[in-house]
Amino acid sequence: MNFTIPTLLIGTGLILLQFVLAIPWIWLLLPREDQESIRRNPFAPWMLQRIAAAIGVSVALPILLLTFVQDRASLEIAGRLYAAILQLQLTILLFVILFGLLMLLWPKGGAVALAAFREGVRQPMLWLLTGLAAGAMAISIIIPYFTFGEDYLMVKQLGYDVIMLAAVLFGSLTASLSISDEIEGRTAITVMSKPVSRRQFMLGKFAGIILAALFMFGLLGVYFEGVLIVKHWWDKLEPITTVIESETSQARIGVVSTPLWVASTLERWDLQSSITDFLRGIGQWTAHALDTLPGLILCYSQVMVLVGLAVALATRVPMVVNLSSVLVVFFLSHLTPVLVTIARKADVENPGPVAQLLGFVSGVFDTVLPDLGAFSMDPALLTDAPPPAAQFAQYVGSVTLYGLLYTAIVLILGLILFEDRDLA
């Protein structure tokens, strides 16, 4: 097969990009002795050999791929797989940057956050819950839902809920184990004699736990996007390669259309057909990832609120009470809109003491408890057509801001509870 110079350069550049993005987390996994050796002599022979091997692999892989895989569908699948790996790389790089900034701007609290993050990631519970969530989403592909052609949307809705519940359970359990056990076991006294203030201790714990939950979201988010593509194939919906942004509706066929800017850019570049198909697959995955991102943001905002509540309660109550309280808040928050509706209807149809009591209780719940229903993607998924992008982005931004404000209020209450807690 004949290769053009632009095709070979683009293929090599794409593989080299993966190697470059892998450098930060590979560096962190290296033993301290190897890190010191590289600092002293970054151009050691063994280091140059590895760089040469990476360049050789970057040149050889595109040649092998484009030689043995030439049909459009397989090349687009390879492009989507490449984009999925790239998304994982960027997710890991995000955490390296976040903790670098934390340690620079907030040294003491950042150290507590980093310790809590490492503790959470190393726990078997995180990987167990991630595996269970992944298994549940995989099973959801083959379950018939009898929704008259909208099984894809059911899998999408269930995927959001599974990821959210797994992260809430992980965050609540980690908060109870990491904070309550340290306070009860008097370990917190040692930490706060560094000196680390109570505020830095609690907020650092929250930051580490919520970032560990975000790490779970990053892993499950990429897996979830792959599940949706497999579901599209399983249900034998319209092939992704035939879906054009201006000709089809996402809500009807259950797949994100290839953006017009991807098609126009590839047409303008006028590259070899094989590399064009590969790049089109990358564009398809990118559009697919951006489509699922708003739902993941909403779910993570809900997780942030509930984990903030768990962290605040962990300063005062043991694990069983903490988990029970978070569970009660979760169910009551989702039940409150129904109670408010029933109370208003009862006040109109059957006014009396019972209706007034029901109205008072539902009003208190509606005022105090978080509106977790606002974080749901169900209304957007069940519409006949996708909501306008600008309006939906504004809604996601406002709900995320609400989640941040409510979490801040809960953490302030937690700090008040923690201030006079006897640690001795």
322 close to 176: Cβ distance less than 8 angstroms = yes
> In the chain, what percentage of residues exceed pLDDT 90?
37
For residue 50, the SS3 value is helix
pLDDT at 73 exceeding the cut of 80: yes
- What pLDDT is recorded for position 51? 85
d(CA 179, CA 171): 12
- What pLDDT is recorded for position 30? 80
Average pLDDT of the segment spanning 284-301: 91
- What pLDDT is recorded for position 274? 85
How is the chain split among helix, strand and coil, in percent rounded to 5?
80, 0, 15
Q: What are the strands, taking DSSP E only, across 325-414? A: none
d(CA 160, CA 137): 10
In degrees and rounded to multiples of 5, residue 7 shows phi and psi of -65, -45
d(CA 119, CA 116): 5
pLDDT at 239 exceeding the cut of 80: no
Q: pLDDT band for 242, please (50, 70, 90 cuts).
A: low
d(CA 332, CA 109): 33
Nearest by Cα to 159 from 142, 138, 144: 138
Angle, CA 239 vertex, CA 237 and CA 242 arms, to 5°: 130
pLDDT at 355 exceeding the cut of 90: no
- What pLDDT is recorded for position 306? 95
pLDDT at 424 exceeding the cut of 60: no
- What pLDDT is recorded for position 10? 87
pLDDT at 299 exceeding the cut of 90: yes
- What pLDDT is recorded for position 396? 92
- What pLDDT is recorded for position 50? 83
Give the lowest-confidence range in 114-123, 146-155, 300-309, 405-414: 146-155
- What pLDDT is recorded for position 87? 94
Give the lowest-confidence range in 127-131, 197-201, 321-325, 394-398: 197-201
- For the chain, what is the mean pLDDT? 85
- What pLDDT is recorded for position 311? 93
- What pLDDT is recorded for position 194? 65
- What pLDDT is recorded for position 246? 44
In degrees and rounded to multiples of 5, residue 258 shows phi and psi of -70, 125
Average pLDDT of the segment spanning 85-103: 92
- What pLDDT is recorded for position 253? 39
- What pLDDT is recorded for position 189? 61
d(CA 227, CA 124): 24
Angle between helices 273-314 and 151-175 (to 10 degrees): 40
If 0-12 CB within 10 Å is exposed, 13-18 middle and 19+ buried, where does residue 121 land? middle
- What pLDDT is recorded for position 67? 80
- What pLDDT is recorded for position 108? 87
If 0-12 CB within 10 Å is exposed, 13-18 middle and 19+ buried, where does residue 213 land? buried
CB atoms within 10 A of CB 299: 24
209 close to 411: Cβ distance less than 8 angstroms = no
296 Cβ contact list (under 8 Å, min separation 6)? 160, 163, 217, 221, 224
pLDDT at 363 exceeding the cut of 70: yes
Q: pLDDT band for 252, please (50, 70, 90 cuts).
A: very low
CA distances from 359 to 334, 342, 362, 369, 385 (A): 17, 9, 5, 15, 36
CA distances from 131 to 113, 127, 327, 360 (A): 25, 6, 22, 43
Average pLDDT of the segment spanning 170-199: 75
Q: pLDDT band for 288, please (50, 70, 90 cuts).
A: confident
155 Cβ contact list (under 8 Å, min separation 6)? 137, 140, 141, 227, 228, 231
More confident of the two residues 217 and 48: 217
**pLDDT tens digits along 155-168:** 989 999 999 999 99
Angle, CA 178 vertex, CA 174 and CA 183 arms, to 5°: 145
Can you give the pTM of this predicted structure?
0.89
373 close to 339: Cβ distance less than 8 angstroms = no
For residue 139, the SS3 value is helix
- What pLDDT is recorded for position 159? 93
- What pLDDT is recorded for position 245? 46
- What pLDDT is recorded for position 250? 43
- What pLDDT is recorded for position 319? 85
More confident of the two residues 122 and 43: 122
CA distances from 253 to 145, 238, 262, 308, 377 (A): 16, 7, 20, 38, 18
168 close to 330: Cβ distance less than 8 angstroms = yes
CB atoms within 10 A of CB 184: 12
**pLDDT tens digits along 386-403:** 677 788 889 999 999 999
Q: Which two tokens stand for residue 2?
A: 């004949």
d(CA 239, CA 245): 13
**pLDDT tens digits along 96-144:** 999 999 999 999 889 989 999 999 999 899 999 999 999 999 999 998 8
Average pLDDT of the segment spanning 371-390: 76
Q: Which two tokens stand for residue 294?
A: 């708003």
Sign of the CA dihedral running 334, 338, 344, 347: negative
